[in-house]
Every structure is written in structure tokens, then in C-alpha cells.
Amino acid sequence: EAAVTQSPRNKVAVTGGKVTLSCNQTNNHNNMYWYRQDTGHGLRLIHYSYGAGSTEKGDIPDGYKASRPSQENFSLILELATPSQTSVYFCASGDSRVANERLFFGHGTKLSVL
């Protein structure tokens, strides 16, 4: 079974602070994604990556940066956290070589910005 591990599971940050959310996958998938989940909005795409060294903007990239230093790791960085970024963040991986790509999600990181 494909594995995507997120850390931390829970995070409390202060407004204006820097937050880094980490994601590791052992699926050897090329594609990785960061989504945030909010009530009434479902899952919204923040950033994604097609492979090591690449990052692309999703639908709501403002206030977020992403880093893909290796095939396995994909980080989401909030340089100056704001209360509006309080949410549950999900990382996912997928195999671009497969038609109808299936995404494998981590368990999520609950972020609270006070």
C-alpha cells in the first residue's frame, strides 16, 4: 500500500511566525501535491510538483511556498503565518506515468495560527 507521511500531525503557530509542513512518500511517485481542507470549500490545491526541483502554483498559492528537494520529500512553507491559514493540510502523491492518476493522501496536518 502506498505510503504518504506528514509531519507534524498538529501544529500551533503564532501570527507572523514561519511554519514548515513536511511530507514524505515511499511510493516512488513523480507528482506530489499540497491541499488545504476547509469546511464548505472541500480540498483546494496550493502547490504541486512534477519531480525533484520543480514546484508549480495551484489555485491558492498566495502566502505559501513549496520545496521539492528530492523525489520523496515535499514541503509547504508559510513564511509569515496568518490566522486565515488555520486549516487542515493534506499532502498527496501520484504516479504521472499512469493514466487516470490515483492520488494517495497522508493523514493531514492540523494547523492553528493564533
Partner 1 sequence: QQQVRQSPQSLTVWEGETAILNCSYEDSTFNYFPWYQQFPGEGPALLISISSVSDKKEDGRFTIFFNKREKKLSLHITDSQPGDSATYFCAASPNYNVLYFGSGTKLTVEP
44 binds partner 1 (CB under 8 A): yes
Q: What are phi and psi of 85, to 5 degrees?
A: -95, 5
φ, ψ of residue 84 to 5 degrees: the values are: -70, -10
Please check whether residue 75 is in contact with residue 21, taking contact to mean a CB–CB distance below 8 angstroms: yes
For partner 1, which residue of 24, 25, 31, 55 counts as binding (CB under 8 A)?
Answer: 31
CB of 17 to partner 1, least distance (A): 26
Q: Is 61 in the site for partner 1 (CB under 8 A)?
A: no
Q: Report the nearest approach of partner 1 to the CB of residue 103 (Å).
A: 7
Judged by CB under 8 A, does residue 47 bind partner 1? no
Among 43, 52, 60, 77, binds partner 1 (CB under 8 A): 43
Q: What whole-number distance in Å separates Cα of residue 15 and Cα of residue 114?
A: 6
Candidates 18-26, 65-73, 76-84, 96-104 — which segment interacts with partner 1 by CB under 8 A?
Answer: 96-104
The alpha carbon of residue 82 and the mean position of all alpha carbons in its chain are separated, in whole angstroms, by 17
3-state helix, strand and coil shares in percent for the chain, rounded to the nearest 5:
5, 50, 50
- Positions that interact with partner 1 (CB under 8 A): 4, 31, 35, 40-45, 48, 58-59, 90, 92, 94, 96, 99-108
